Amino acid sequence: MLNAVEEEPRAVVFVCDRQGAALSRRERCLKLAGIVHWVEAERRPSGSYYKLLVREHDAVTAHLALQMGGCARSSKLQQTQASFGGTLREVARTFWDEILLLLGRLTDFVKEVAPKLLPGPR
């Protein structure tokens, strides 16, 4: 089965230069949408790049899932000069996103482990 999946055409939906919160958020969006995905590391002289891949026929659905999950490109990337207050707000927003990601992972862990710990009906 694994070979059959690997032979399918794949589409890249996200590329980043480090494993971290950005990649994890997008993986979580795809997982919640029920889209099969892979992370592939590509080594280059300039460094490692991590590609988030889906099956080719799921590419549009994956992009829509990422947009619905709040992982779309931000218009804030066009700003060239930020104020001190804006920087603090951005740091606080990033910290809040990380807390939400941690809570999501903790919830997933509890949902997975709790049924195994609870005794069955007698």
Which tens digit of pLDDT belongs to each residue from 67-119? 887 776 654 545 556 688 888 998 999 999 999 999 999 999 998 888 888 77
Cα 70 from Cα 78, distance rounded (Å): 18
Give the per-residue pLDDT at 1: 41
Give the per-residue pLDDT at 9: 87
Cα 102 from Cα 55, distance rounded (Å): 27
Q: Which residue has the higher pLDDT, 5 or 24?
A: 24
Give the per-residue pLDDT at 72: 65
Average the pLDDT over 7-35 and give the result: 88
Give the per-residue pLDDT at 21: 85
Which residue in 33, 78, 36, 79 sits closest to 54, CA to CA? 36
Mean of pLDDT over the chain? 83
Give the per-residue pLDDT at 93: 92
pLDDT band at 35 (very low <50, low <70, confident <90, very high): very high
Cα 82 from Cα 89, distance rounded (Å): 11
Q: Is residue 121 predicted with pLDDT exceeding 80?
A: no
Give the per-residue pLDDT at 54: 94
Give the per-residue pLDDT at 39: 92
Furthest CA-CA distance within the chain: 65
